[in-house]
Amino acid sequence: MKAMVLHEVRTPLRLEERPRPSPGPGEIRVAVEACAVCRTDLHVVDGDLPHPRLPLVPGHEIVGRVEALGSGVRSHKPGGRVGIPWLGNTCGHCSYCISGHENLCDEPLFTGYTRDGGFASHAIADSAYAFSLPEDGDPVTLAPLLCAGLIGWRSLVAAGPGERIGIFGFGAAAHIITQVCTCQGRRVFAFTRPGDVAAQDFARSLGAAWAGGSDQAPPESLDAAIIFAPVGDLVPLALKAVRKGGRVVCGGIHMSDIPSFPYRLLWEERQVVSVANLTRQDAADFLAIVPEARIRTQTMRYPLEAANEALDDLRSGRLQGAAVLVP
């Protein structure tokens, strides 16, 4: 099998030939059809997230076909299409797991971080954490749903039922969740890098009611705001934009430090919350709404060998939508 491998953070991935792995008990081996490139992959490669398992194959937005079953697997059959997300395994017995918060598990495994992921021609996954996907869908357009879609969905649920939703950072997650909001009758106010007219036009083309720079005030106060950009400076700006009782959701796994800000921005029962990882129920709920919302992902395809180029395009903000590697 071929794999793009990280041997040391802040260094380019290396293309390697490896033996095709055998699935262990409860595992499946998947022939990767596509793997989207997530900002979390960038945080792993750039050393923003501590202690990745090295050497490591990144990638956790995987779409592929089941090729082999480990002992005890009953949930999948050879040839079936599956999606493999960030959450790779949980302990099942800590207080978080047994209370329905497996996203906060004390002993988790994460695909493309603490276990090998999908920047490869083949991947191993725990069968209980792989989701069946439509057989007739395009794997490239499905791949971003496995994290950009899932963490966007969890962030939107955390934001609450408000009608006016601000989105700071208009990348892969934002372009999916904008479509969900439109389907639900909500209005999206998109905040991009100042002067990024292309991203603002992109947001409006997906149904955003307003789009402008993060240095601009929205035309009306927001019920909630979601911050996808890993920029702590956006938190006080988002608080300033939400109404009394409004909520600001930090949707990333990593963010630069949040600066001090006047208490008056938080007063009047405004809230700042974060979301972490995902649960399998998140996946079930979100994948059920995808056909109803007629979600269409915008993607840029790269061959597997161009993983470093895809990461660099994401790092420098040259992408609209999501980069996707195709072995």
Judge whether 17 and 122 are in contact, CB under 8 Å: no
Q: What is the pLDDT along the chain (327 residues), one digit of tens a residue?
A: 999 999 999 999 999 999 999 999 999 999 999 999 999 999 999 999 999 999 999 999 999 999 999 999 999 999 999 999 999 999 999 999 999 999 999 999 999 999 999 999 999 999 999 999 999 889 999 999 999 999 999 999 999 999 999 999 999 999 999 999 999 999 999 999 999 999 999 999 999 999 999 999 999 999 999 999 999 999 999 999 999 999 999 999 999 999 999 999 999 999 999 999 999 999 999 999 999 999 999 999 999 999 999 999 999 988 888 999 999
Residue 132: the pLDDT is 96
Say how many C-beta atoms besides its own lie within 10 A of residue 323's C-beta: 26
Helix (H, G, I), strand (E, B) or coil at 42: helix
Residues 21 and 131 in one domain: yes
Residues 136 and 7 in one domain: yes
- CATH number at 64 reads 3.90.180.10
Paired tokens of 79: 């040839």
Residue 320: the pLDDT is 86
Residue 317: the pLDDT is 87
Residues facing residue 310 across a β-bridge: none
Residues 242 and 282 in one domain: no
Select from 258, 274, 290 the last residue of a domain: 274
Residues 180 and 304 in one domain: no
Residues 164 and 290 in one domain: no
Residue 22 buriedness (CB in 10 A; 0-12 / 13-18 / 19+): exposed
Place of tokens 């490669």: 45
Residue 142: the pLDDT is 97
Q: What CA–CA distance (Å, rounded) separates 58 from 312?
A: 14
Say how many C-beta atoms besides its own lie within 10 A of residue 212's C-beta: 18
- pTM, two decimal places: 0.95
For the chain, the first-to-last Cα distance in angstroms comes to 10
Paired tokens of 262: 């006047």
Q: What CA–CA distance (Å, rounded) separates 302 from 324?
A: 6
Residues 221 and 305 in one domain: no
Residues 217 and 192 in one domain: yes
Residues 253 and 196 in one domain: yes
- CATH number at 269 reads 3.40.50.720
- Structural domain of 178: 149-274
Select from 237, 252, 274 the last residue of a domain: 274
Residues 36 and 128 in one domain: yes
Q: What CA–CA distance (Å, rounded) separates 229 from 134?
A: 30
Residues 176 and 102 in one domain: no
For 217-237, the DSSP string reads --SS-EEEEEE-SS-TTHHHH
Select from 240, 257, 274 the last residue of a domain: 274
Residues 122 and 264 in one domain: no
Q: How many domains does the chain have?
A: 2
Residues 266 and 214 in one domain: yes
